Amino acid sequence: MNELLIKSRGVSKSYGRKTALDRVDLDVGRDRIVGLLGPNGSGKTTFIKLLCGLLQPNCGELAVNGQKIGPETKAQISYLPDRMYFADWMKATDLFDLFRDFYRDFDYDKALAMCRSLGVDPKDKLKSMSKGTKEKVQLVLVMARKAQLYLLDEPIAGVDPAARDFILQTILTNYNEEGTVLISTHLISDIEKVLDEVVFLKEGRVMLHNTVDNIRENEGKSVDALFREIFRAQPMEGGNF
């Protein structure tokens, strides 16, 4: 088993003249929850899509569990996108059947148990669910797998503040502890308490990669406070890249 789960060397990605990622070097190990933090447009979604194989870098090398991005790595990654991509006529149980057929590591019984804990009726159709409930169903699909790498793109953005702690606890108690969770978000104060490490992205570059404990000890402040200090001149609105 490769102890280094994510390895990025000089990875760049552009959309026309717009540079989304600029020579990203990053190493991420196992058994940790890592925050991929930055304002909208900083490159968070692009990096996640590169790890999933949905995009190809313009240059550089990217590997998951010692393997170049491809069919083998896709089988080890559980991905929560920032937008719902299922048909509204489907029920949660339809999705569970689909995932059980498609992924060998999907645990159907665990998915049902997670639905109960989140207050979701798995027999309801998606079209009858609120946006927050749909996002809970997507989270169940992702966390019911025994993956090596969980990639969660804004997992708490669509739920009300009262439900965020419950969502984070669901993530914390259901991921494969031999693997790692990478969470992209700009809601730092809500998520900081579950993070082991953080990566700050600014204009497509890694500005900081450190453990939460080191930041608190060396900087004398919370991750949220440090984030606000580094990005205070950055707009927080705009498109994702």
Residue intervals in the chain for CATH 3.40.50.300: 1-76+187-211
Which helix (H) or strand (E) segment is 41 a member of? none
Q: Say what the pTM is.
A: 0.90
How confident is residue 4, by pLDDT bands cut at 50, 70 and 90?
Answer: confident
Domain covering 80-147, topology: Helicase, Ruva Protein; domain 3 (1.10.8)
Q: Which CATH class is domain 1-76+187-211?
A: alpha beta
Q: How far apart are CA 81 and CA 154, in angstroms?
A: 8
Residue intervals in the chain for CATH 1.10.8: 80-147
235 pLDDT more than 50: no
Which sign does the torsion angle of CA 163, 168, 173, 174 carry?
Answer: positive
| Better pLDDT: 207 or 3 | 207
| 135-181 pLDDT per residue, tens | 889 999 999 999 999 999 988 876 777 778 888 888 888 898 889 99
Contact 50, 13 (CB under 8 A): yes
5 pLDDT more than 90: yes
The mean pLDDT of 75-81, rounded to a whole number, is 93
The mean pLDDT of 231-235, rounded to a whole number, is 62
| 22-31 pLDDT per residue, tens | 999 999 999 9
